[in-house]
Structure 1
Amino acid sequence: MKTFLRLLAATALLVAGSFLVPSPDPASAAAAVGVPGCRNADLHARYRATDNGAGHRYGKIVLTNVSTHSCRTGGFGGLSYVGGGDGTQIGAPATREGTATSFVLAPGQRAVSRVDEVVADLYDAATCRPRAVDGFRVYVPNATRSQFIVHRTRGCLNPAVHLISHTAYRKVG
């Protein structure tokens, strides 16, 4: 019985420890003090397709610091389909997945958000109300202006159908 209780206690400590969130690196936190937040004009957005299968298309939104200074960013931006030739939003915005962190991007450095798109043709046409999509509207984290990325596909006008999900931005490298 003692062996069982010790094993139970050790398992409880192991499980409890797996839920702890590591504290930020003090050097990184100190470096971020006084670094301005990235503005929309500081970051250039592009999309890169990576894979597809089983009714999904996968890719990533890449943000590159095109400014001459370091800036702080991280977390989620906004992502949605737009169409109609005039930037009208098509359907629901992207669902956010994962947890967010903050980081500093030096000039030329990149951040990535992984994107998962469900193929609209998998839905019943009456439910989906399919529409042509011209591309993505991308809001960089904490920005109020958006960027447009050409990405021709089909979306669902019905905002109850969620075709896109994306992860929080992570620094590359």
Structure 2
Amino acid sequence: MQAIAHPQRRSPALNNTDNRASDATMTLFSIIESPDHPRLETLYQRLGLHQIKLASQRKAIQALKQTSPDWVVAEFFYGFGNNYAGANVSNLDVFLASLRKAAPEARVIVLVSKEQARYVPLLAERFPLHAVLTLPVTESEVEAILDGTRMPEPSTKGAGTGTAANDTEA
């Protein structure tokens, strides 16, 4: 499991027990493009997140016109031998560029297969990623990130990125 952080994007825990009027329901975009994407509806409900399921990057970009998410959970697919390899690194580039404009404070959790994990740093050079998890992921791994108990540690690797100390190499 690897986490990549942008230092200015750290946030307090979601499971805050005091019910202040200023606390609004947080929105999470769950961009589900393959059967490997974990189904975490119960976790999101328990944490008080409003989940919006989207079946493609295109639909996610359309949803940005109506809603600014606080969190995004999306799968990474490297662009082998197509336009991604030129102007874009992966399936996420266009969405993340749109997200940067529409919801610059949104935190992004990227899910990636072990085989493609080595390409994620290329994306992290272009866009701030809150965390990167290698598939398959467990509910507890995602919960630790969402509730703030596992904050990525800063590192000198990459442009504004860091890796958590307890991560293992793929």
Instruction: Looking at secondary structure, tell me which structure has more helix per residue.
Output: 2
* TM-score, normalised relative to structure 1: 0.21
Between Structure 1 and Structure 2, which shows a larger proportion of strand residues?
1
Larger radius of gyration: 1
